[in-house]
Amino acid sequence: MNNILIKVNSNLLTLSHVTKKEDKNLNNTNIIDTKELLFSYQYIIDNLDLVSSFLNTIILKNNISKIRVSNIEIVSISLDLIKNSKTITQMLISDNESVTYDIFLKLLDNNTLTYLNCYDIPPYLLERLDINKNLKIDIRSEMFFISKFMDDNKLYKYSDIYYKKSIVINQVFEKKDLEDFKTFLKINKYLKAIHLKSYSNDLIYSIIDAFKELNINNKIIVFYENNNINIIANSVNYLKQIYNNFLSLNKITFKIVYSKEYKRKNFFKQLNFITLKYICLVVILCALVFSSLDFYKNFVAEKNVNKINEQLTNILDDYNFIDENDTNIIESEEEEEENNTSSTPSTPSSYYTKYEQVFDNLTEINDETVGWLTVNNTKVNYPVVQHIDNEYYLKRDFNKQKNSYGWIYMDYRNNIYNMSNNTIILGHNLKNGMMFGTLRYVLNEKWYTNEENQIITFNTKVKNMKWKIFSIYRVPVTNDYMYANFADLDEFQKFIDFIKNRSIYDFKTEVTKEDHILTLSTCASGSSQRLVIHAVLIKE
């Protein structure tokens, strides 16, 4: 059992650490007299005030002014015992060991000592005592001894230790290194990272144990690859298992720094799962953002087109009258679904609309209005506009506002007053069926074999016209059907024969070079093909 022996000799109080077996007959009672006192270490801890008070009485009675402590291990508790003494002004530490940080704190707390003789005291602690205490210190060692850990990090002053943000450990701790490392942790307030230039299991366990002992938190331990990456990785994983709760609660993290050579050889291996997960997450988030923006953009575009269609319907209602025997009225929904056709057009049938009156209202909304196009049993029932180029209405609606749905427009080369050989009308093929989105119905056999569907109405401000379909086809992206005018009638006849031969169905419709034709064009199969309809003007 560990005991502390206290002796009184003249004006000197001596404390020493002894190991002595207790006499069982004493029944664990401490032996006390006024010249030689023997206490168990634990008894002093448990009864510090009592023992200190008793000892102070002896000190006063004998007018003791000096204390000698034989063992460095009991210096701290010795200072606790004489803390309230007013007469002891000198202390001698006989042990050839350096003063520790715990002893330093007790010295700071003592108000009576004016002289200390010890073997060694770290310079940063000596500096602090010089500043804060009227205490003369004699050191018996020939020079101050500083550990390699302190020297490597240039920790020569108290302020160096206090403000240090990053330290380097180059080798396994010796006893002095470990003591100074713990002292460093107790003093320092700004440390963020510990760099281990040389790795060993003993070293990292010493560091983590010191962290646990002192309840250190928010630190990063940095390892350097140095060709032993597998050992480091395995050790880190093991550390995370055995110290899991402490590391997570105290936010102790690990980081591995790879050499340039290693990065060059193992670039893809360094893309760990977490990095890839975050990359995937960013990609997914970006996709969601763009998808949401696209959805919102389409929602706004469709909403604006619906408003325009409602406005157009109101205009047509004012000038429209329908013959009850009109055979062009759309089939019922059941028949339409069977024939793969669309629902009722958004505006009334145009066959009996007084367009010469309607166009005045339409041109008030859009002065580039040139006509109105209707394709039976589709949703194609729109006013047609024309700009000085074919790009403008790709991204603008009937109100000339920016809109990804665009509008139905006539080729800029055509003229409603002096009709070209080939009048070309274009529009987007939209999935929701707007614009030319339902022209795909014309590829259905039940649609194109229905004679009523073969008549297209395209009226202009100049004339009401009906056109009969003579060719329908899909073709890879090309401009070979987009000629508006021809050098002579023979060239036009060759063109007519060419586009008739492409048709998916023989409409048995005669078309000559003396005729005028109408071409409707839109995208098909995404944007890799074009869906094309050609119709000839019915002469009246």
Contact 430, 405 (CB under 8 A): yes
Lowest-pLDDT range of 238-247, 308-317, 425-434: 308-317
Tokens of 487: 């050098």
**Gap between the Cα atoms of 508 and 249, Å rounded:** 85
Contact 405, 438 (CB under 8 A): no
Decide if pLDDT at 347 tops 50.
no
Three-class SS state of 223: strand
**Gap between the Cα atoms of 247 and 184, Å rounded:** 20
350 closest CA partner among 394, 385, 308, 315: 315
> What kind of architecture, by CATH, is found in domain 308-537?
Beta Barrel (2.40)
Domain assignments of the chain as residue spans, ordered by start = 2-139, 148-270, 308-537
**Gap between the Cα atoms of 75 and 93, Å rounded:** 8
Q: Which phi and psi angles does 264 have, rounded to 5°?
A: -65, -40
Lowest-pLDDT range of 230-239, 254-263, 319-328, 531-540: 319-328
Cα–Cα distance list, 102 to 8, 105, 160, 298, 519 (Å): 26, 5, 19, 72, 97
pTM (2 d.p.): 0.46
Lowest-pLDDT range of 79-83, 209-213, 282-286: 282-286
**Gap between the Cα atoms of 57 and 169, Å rounded:** 49
Cα–Cα distance list, 205 to 183, 201, 226, 236 (Å): 17, 6, 20, 11
Decide if pLDDT at 475 tops 90.
yes
Amino acid found at 480: D
Cα–Cα distance list, 431 to 60, 295, 351, 437, 525 (Å): 103, 13, 27, 6, 11
What lies within 8 Å, CB to CB, of 510 at 6+ separation is none
Cα 125-129-131 angle, rounded to 5 deg: 120
pLDDT of residue 285: 82
Of residues 458 and 146, more confidence is placed in 458
pLDDT of residue 155: 87
Of residues 295 and 268, more confidence is placed in 295
For tokens 């196009």, the residue is: 373
Alpha helices in 328-465 (DSSP H): 333-338, 355-365, 445-448
Decide if pLDDT at 146 tops 50.
yes
Decide if pLDDT at 337 tops 60.
no
pLDDT of residue 312: 79
Quick one: how far is CA 271 from the chain centroid? 16
Lowest-pLDDT range of 130-134, 154-158, 297-301: 297-301
DSSP label of 100: P
Decide if pLDDT at 332 tops 70.
no
Tokens of 47: 């009864």
Contact 148, 169 (CB under 8 A): no
- Average pLDDT of the segment spanning 8-21: 84
477-508 residue pLDDT tens = 999 999 999 999 999 999 999 999 999 999 99
Of residues 491 and 21, more confidence is placed in 491
Contact 520, 375 (CB under 8 A): yes
**Gap between the Cα atoms of 438 and 441, Å rounded:** 6
- Average pLDDT of the segment spanning 346-372: 72
Quick one: what percent of the chain has pLDDT higher than 70?
84
Decide if pLDDT at 333 tops 90.
no
* Burial environment of residue 273 by CB neighbours within 10 A (0 to 12, 13 to 18, 19 or more): exposed
pLDDT of residue 82: 93
pLDDT of residue 320: 54
Confidence of residue 210 (pLDDT cuts 50, 70, 90): very high
Number of C-beta neighbours around residue 155 at 10 A: 25
Quick one: what percent of the chain has pLDDT higher than 90?
50
- Average pLDDT of the segment spanning 40-50: 92
Decide if pLDDT at 431 tops 50.
yes
Decide if pLDDT at 94 tops 90.
yes
What lies within 8 Å, CB to CB, of 538 at 6+ separation is 455, 465, 466, 467, 468
Decide if pLDDT at 539 tops 80.
yes
Produce one character per residue of 437-474: b if its CB has 16 or more CB atoms within 10 Å, e if not: bbbbbbbeeebbeeeebbbbbbbbbeebbbbbbbbbbe
